[in-house]
Amino acid sequence: MRCGECGERMLSVRSTIPYPESGLDNVVLINVPVWRCQNGHEECEIPAVRQLHEVLAEAIVEKSGPLVGKEVRYLRKHLGLSARDFADYLGINPVSLSRIENERRAVTSTVDRLARFLYTQLLAAHADQPCAKSLLPVLESLRGGMLPVVGHRIEHLDLPPSVPHSPGQPEWRELRP
């Protein structure tokens, strides 16, 4: 591979990088392929983006701390819902949802719980299941209290080239403390 800026040959290394493209400022990707040339230019390669976004959405829903506005927006967008539709599901007006998503208004515990519940239920509906079994503990945990979470660390599983990758095989996982 050649550098798009200087034309020099690029080599692949593994690196830890921030992922602001997720819309969240606390996501770090670990063990990600990064291409570097001798002049210091870099190009990042993020494999299995769809699965990465699913792992991140589940990490948000399963976190023990309260949701913040950007996480509510991430879940809404991951479900492919408009702000109006999501606000209708939450029982609030779209202006209130906008203020929450833009962090001009705090996420109430009711909106937090409803957003998590809606995500799990709508995800299950897309899969024609009553509820995704891996997320049943999330529904149960909504009854308990929540602790703050500082950020999300998502690791790319570096599969050796000798091991054929199957479509159902995970490439991403959340690193938990």
pLDDT in tens, 140-170: 554 444 445 567 888 888 776 666 666 667 7
Examine the domain organization and report whether 133 and 78 are in the same domain. yes
Task: Say how far apart CA 143 and CA 139 lie, in whole Å.
Answer: 8
At 39-55, the pLDDT tens digits run 999 998 888 899 999 99
Examine the domain organization and report whether 9 and 40 are in the same domain. yes
What's residue 136's pLDDT? 60
Examine the domain organization and report whether 109 and 169 are in the same domain. no
Domain of 38?
1-48+149-177
Examine the domain organization and report whether 79 and 140 are in the same domain. yes
Q: Count of domains in the chain?
A: 2
13 falls within a domain:
yes
* Low-confidence stretches of the chain (pLDDT beneath 50): 142-147
CA neighbor of 173 nearest in space, from 58, 85, 77 = 58
pTM across the whole model: 0.73
Chain Cα centroid distance, residue 2: 31
54 falls within a domain:
no
What's residue 27's pLDDT? 94
Would you give the DSSP letter of residue 47? -
